[in-house]
Amino acid sequence: MTHPPKKRVFSGIQPTGNLHIGNYLGAIKNWAQEQHKYHNVFCIVDLHALTLPQDPAELYRSIRQVAMLYLACGLDLEHCAIFVQSHIPAHAELTWLLNCVTPLGWLERMTQYKDKSAKQESVSTGLLDYPVLMAADIILYDTHYVPVGEDQKQHVELTRDIAIRFNNLYGETFVVPDVLIPKAGARVMGLDDPTAKMSKSIDKQGHALRLLDPPNVLKKSIMRATTDSLNRIAFDPVEQPGVFNLLNIYQAITGQSEAQILAEFSGGGYGNLKKRVAEAVVATLEPIQQRYHEMAQDPGYIEQVLQAGADRVRPIAERRLLVAQKNLGLRK
């Protein structure tokens, strides 16, 4: 019996700080769980990080840290290529070609641009152009599926619009990708403020559960998480965003249904809920931390992985860029 060819998955994370449980539950955990079904291309999107000011030494360190965390979280090099975006120049080159077919209004409408630019005194052109670079990342690899957290859904939709527009103007060039969003954990909120997304660039104690935080820090942040005074355990994101966030984290970790979780916690108070969530988080992160720290003993290893990953994906990217160049009339 012949099997249909495997489809391709692409996703990436910015090396903009310490990865947190939102990055894990919204993205990496699902990449690892589904990796055997697809050809996977996972990137550390360092060019995206440059859209906001970065300390060069810190950025360099962070790129390696993200790559090691990909592996520590379970990505298997038999199924996945892992590489750094800036090591494949085709990403930047395709971005320019796509810029020239992307109406400015499409970019000005992006909610992440509006949020991030509102926090800056002066905004780089790169911050506005971020979604076009993301579109180039994805369609360069003939990607079918893009597994991301909820916050990136709008950017993947824009990617589809850009690919369709290019195909309509210049002939079939790009695969139009679909987004994959997990059922639980797609939007983990800050523990200090459950109305705002947990974010790695918010460096405030008690905001994020960082993947490399020691168990006592994780526990403390969860025990201090903002809840409410209703003393009711329910999946109610409007009236009880703090409790909902803890239940959502627990559900994404355990894979249990809402009914199972409510049965487990009904009658107990918030203290018990927090304690159980903390235990589940620590039990999930401890083996990841152990693998990460072992890998960090040999810095040469991750350099080899990144070099091999770039070598593996370069031909795919160059082939698709060449098709785009030919269709635009740049090459024969």
Which residues are at the interface with ligand AQP (CB under 6 A)? 13-14, 16, 22-23, 26-27, 148-149, 151-152, 186-188, 197-201
Active-site annotation holds for 197: yes
Residue nearest ligand AQP, CB atom distance? 26
Q: Are 189 and 197 in contact (CB under 8 A)?
A: yes
CA separation for the pair 21, 217 (Å, rounded): 13
Whichever of 132 and 186 has its CB closer to ligand AQP, that residue is 186
Active-site annotation holds for 37: no
Whichever of 14 and 240 has its CB closer to ligand AQP, that residue is 14
- Tell the smallest beta-carbon distance from residue 313 to ligand AQP (Å): 18
Whichever of 13 and 50 has its CB closer to ligand AQP, that residue is 13
- Tell the smallest beta-carbon distance from residue 307 to ligand AQP (Å): 23
- Tell the smallest beta-carbon distance from residue 253 to ligand AQP (Å): 13
Q: Are 95 and 137 in contact (CB under 8 A)?
A: no
Token duo for residue 10: 């692409």
Length reported for the chain: 332
Which entry of 153, 197, 220, 275 is annotated as an active-site residue? 197
Which entry of 7, 116, 153, 275 is annotated as an active-site residue? 116
Q: Alpha helices, DSSP H only, in the chain?
A: 21-23, 29-34, 46-49, 56-72, 90-99, 104-108, 111-118, 125-139, 153-170, 215-223, 241-254, 258-265, 270-296, 299-328
Token duo for residue 168: 């309509």
Whichever of 178 and 298 has its CB closer to ligand AQP, that residue is 178
Which entry of 6, 114, 153, 200 is annotated as an active-site residue? 200
Q: Are 28 and 71 in contact (CB under 8 A)?
A: no
Active-site annotation holds for 274: no
Active site residues: 116, 197, 200
